[in-house]
Amino acid sequence: MLVGVGVAAFVDETVFHQLLHWHHFYDRSTPDAGLVSDGVFHAVGWFAVVAGLFWFAALRRQDDLHVQRWLGGVLMGGGGFQLFDGTVQHKLLGLHQIRYGVDLLAYDLTWDLVAVLLLVAGVVLTLRARGTARAAERTRG
Amino acid sequence: MAEHGHGGDGGLVLVVVLLGLLAVGSYLAALRRSRRRRPWARHRVACWVGGIALLGVGSAGPLAAAAHRSFVAHAVAHVLVGMAAPLLLVGAAPVTVALRALPVQAARLLSRVLRSRPARLVSEPAVAAALNLGGLWLLYLTPLYAYAQAQPAVHLAVHLHLVAAGCLLTAALVSPDPIPHRRRFGHRAVVLVAAVAGHAILAKYLYAHPPDGVTAAAAETGAMVMYYAGDAVEVVLMVVLCRRWFALPSPAAAVGPG
């Protein structure tokens, strides 16, 4: 039921991406593939935020919301996206950089490291939530 | 860019104001005729008035005049008449109002027209989105833009296409009016996301590749208006679409969002 809630995760994705976008709308060095990928992510990101919040509300209404699992999903989605953004979009496709006029390596490493940390935290939370759910089932059964 | 006055701007303003009053008047008259049957939400009336007003502001008057000279004003006017006004007009459920107010014969004819094959084709979300984006890409990536700025008739055609295509896409995605064979939520969501992506890609492309006769600086600002103001309208569209999904008896069962 809650498996797909990771989508809600894109909540922080957009915050990151949008905030950064404001500083690097388009730096003209972007190949067309990057432009397309950016446009698609822009659209998917916005939609995921809106849909994710409505989904959250729908689950709450049905009393089917497991906060820990949801948070796990959010972190996994956010971390996963950031990692993708940092590696594929920033580096491979050469779509804008994090900052201009400084040595990028430190920024890139921090970016990807934070992404991995978020991802790991999300996985841990999800696994723990699953464990709790199983334990609850056992006591019930 | 060629300067031209539309044969006296005062005349154009007058025509647009009259058309706007006519539109608002007909909507209210139609409501009055059907009021006896069922009550009507007030916010729909507000939507209609607001939509017509936006359409008017984007079509005649100071903003429309500036749009002939500046690409930035042009972008603002386009977001207003092509995106914001359609959202409001569709939200006013004009077809439902008409169906309730028209005499039975005429109402039947209207619903037959709406169910006809061509109407069904253009109200298919993907087709409506293609008409929308196709028009925009044609306008900005071919000499059509410069041509439309110089030729009032072409300009009018572009303007009308923009409004019509905007209304069509909005209606295909979130119309409160009865639409035969409406697509499921997931289908409409995918089309919306694709249309938003197409709009964002075009905006960024224009940022770096100005249409004929537009300076680089104007293209940059205009593109950002298109991108961010477009976003604002698109997010409202997404919220409206998701609210429809949320209002279903069991949303999660009917293909969750994503």
Domain annotation covers residue B134? yes
pLDDT digits over B118-174, tens only? 998 998 999 999 999 999 999 998 889 888 888 889 999 999 999 999 999 999 999
List the pLDDT tens digit at each of the 141 positions of chain A.
Answer: 444 444 544 554 555 555 444 444 454 455 566 667 677 777 777 777 777 777 777 777 776 666 776 777 777 666 666 666 666 555 555 555 555 555 556 666 776 777 677 777 777 777 777 777 677 666 665
Distance, in Å, from the CA atom of A89 to the CA atom of A82, rounded to the nearest integer, reads 10
Domain annotation covers residue B34? yes
* pLDDT greater than 80 at residue B116: yes
Give the residue from B221, B228, B238, B241 with the most A CB atoms within 10 Å of its CB, the best one to mutate: B238
- Name the residue among A4, A26, A47 with its Cβ closest to that of B204: A26
Give the mean pLDDT of B224-243.
89
Give the residue from A10, A22, A29, A42 with the most B CB atoms within 10 Å of its CB, the best one to mutate: A42
CB proximity list for B194: less than 8 A, separation 6 or greater: A43, B129
- Name the residue among A4, A38, A58 with its Cβ closest to that of B204: A38
A39–B198 C-beta distance less than 8 A: yes
What rounded mean pLDDT belongs to chain B?
Answer: 87
Domain annotation covers residue B23? yes
Domain annotation covers residue B234? yes
* pLDDT greater than 70 at residue B5: no
> Binning pLDDT at 50, 70 and 90, where does residue B113 land?
very high
Distance, in Å, from the CA atom of A58 to the CA atom of A50, rounded to the nearest integer, reads 12
Give the mean pLDDT of B179-192.
87
- Name the residue among A28, A46, A55 with its Cβ closest to that of B257: A55
Domain annotation covers residue B2? no
Rg value, chain B, Cα: 19
Global pTM reads: 0.78
* pLDDT greater than 90 at residue B35: no
B200–A42 C-beta distance less than 8 A: yes
Note the pLDDT of residue A24: 47
Q: What ipTM score was computed for the predicted complex, to two decimals?
A: 0.71
Distance of residue A124 Cα from the nearest chain B Cα, in angstroms: 24
Domain annotation covers residue B258? no
Note the pLDDT of residue A91: 53
> Binning pLDDT at 50, 70 and 90, where does residue B37 land?
low
CB proximity list for A4: less than 8 A, separation 6 or greater: B256, B258
Residues in A lying within 8 Å of B, measured between beta carbons: 1, 4, 7, 25-26, 28, 35-36, 38-40, 42-44, 46-48, 50-52, 54-55, 57-59, 62, 64
Note the pLDDT of residue B211: 86
In A, minimum Cα distance to B223 occurs at A25
Distance of residue B223 Cα from the nearest chain A Cα, in angstroms: 10
Note the pLDDT of residue B17: 93
pLDDT digits over B55-98, tens only? 999 998 889 889 888 999 999 999 999 999 999 999 999 999 99
Note the pLDDT of residue B158: 93
Q: How many CB atoms lie within 10 A of CB B125?
A: 22
Count of domains in chain B? Answer: 1
Distance of residue B59 Cα from the nearest chain A Cα, in angstroms: 28
pLDDT digits over B210-223, tens only? 888 888 888 888 88
- Name the residue among B195, B224, B242 with its Cβ closest to that of A50: B242
Q: Which residues span the domain enclosing B194? A: 9-253
Q: Which residues span the domain enclosing A38? A: 3-140
Residues in chain A within 8 Å Cβ distance of B243: 54
Note the pLDDT of residue A111: 67
B68 neighbors B1 (Cβ within 8 angstroms)? yes
Of B174, B230, B245, which is closest to residue A50 (Cα–Cα)? B245
Of A119, A26, A14, A140, which is closest to residue B203 (Cα–Cα)? A26
Count of domains in chain A? Answer: 1
* pLDDT greater than 50 at residue B43: yes
On the 0-12 / 13-18 / 19+ scale of CB atoms within 10 A, B82 is buried
